[in-house]
Amino acid sequence: MTRLSVNINKIATLRNARGGNMPDVQKTAQDCERFGAQGITVHPRPDERHIRYKDVELLKPLITTELNIEGNPIPKFIELVLKYKPHQVTLVPDDPGQLTSDHGWDTIKHKDFLIDTIARFKEEGIRTSIFVDPDPKMVEHAKLTGTDRVELYTESYASGFASDKGKSVAPFVEAAKVAREVGLGLNAGHDLNLENLRFFVRSIPWIDEVSIGHALICEALYLGLDNTIKLYLRELRG
């Protein structure tokens, strides 16, 4: 079954809005695991507007499933990952002031940089994934960087789902087939939710992991965190 990694950035955003420690990011991560999540994702950005670098230090000894750290591999980020050695690092080409991730890597243009960066993580036994658009060419060239997995950026699928779900998922199926053919593991994330998740994983049943944060936390405001995680797991089981 495709694994669910819960991105807890939005919990940190709420905490940071008022200062203090409410909601408690560390307790929320542990609760997500207790409720059935199979991983925890954090995405620290340079301005620390949600997850802080200190949070990673506090979370690492608490996570009993899988810790995935996402981010732009600037020197400070690389240092963080090498220090705390998560189970997985996901490289995302964010600009410093970017509101949220909005594109994948050009794996041709940035090939040499990615090769060097990924090699540093793999030397420490850290599984590496790189964020890519649903472009077979980008997936093909991702293989040449030495990465273990690619994460498909699913915003275009989510935005087109209501009007034509078959058309919106088609590029992702093609990219996923290429990933499987070249021997890359496959993750997915961005704007997946309870409405569109089941169709996506039924269309690409070999996806290893989905990382979901914004929608899951929003839905939890109405449904409760425990119930929401269980509903996501139900969708993944199909």
Tens-place pLDDT, residues 116-160: 999 999 999 999 999 999 999 999 999 999 999 999 999 999 999
Per-residue pLDDT at 181: 98
pLDDT digits (tens, 9 = 90+) for 182-206: 999 999 999 999 999 999 999 999 9
33, 43, 50, 141: which one is catalytic?
43
**Domain ranges within the chain, ordered by starting residue:** 3-237
Local confidence band at 238 (pLDDT 50, 70, 90 cut-offs): confident
Planar angle of CA 69, 90, 23, nearest 5 degrees? 30
Please say if 141 is a catalytic residue: no
Q: Of these residues, 66, 141, 151, 190, which one is catalytic?
A: 190
95 pLDDT above the threshold of 90 = no
Q: What is the pLDDT of residue 96?
A: 59
Active site residue 219: no
Q: Active site includes 43?
A: yes
Task: Please pick, among 33, 50, 66, 70, the residue that the annotation labels catalytic.
Answer: 70
- Look at residue 14 and tell me whether its pLDDT is greater than 60: yes
Residue 103 scores a pLDDT above 90: no
Q: Is the pLDDT of residue 100 over 70?
A: no
> For the residues of 96-115, what is the DSSP string, one character each?
TT-SS------TTTTHHHHH
CATH topology of domain 3-237: TIM Barrel (3.20.20)
pLDDT recorded at residue 98: 53
| Half-sphere exposure of residue 178: CA atoms within 13 angstroms, side-chain side | 20
| Amino acid of residue 11 | I
Name the residue among 176, 174, 177, 195 with its Cα closest to residue 187: 176
CA 46 to chain centre: 18
pLDDT tens for 152-169 read 999 999 999 999 999 999
Residue 160 Rama label (left phi>0; alpha psi -120 to 50; beta): alpha
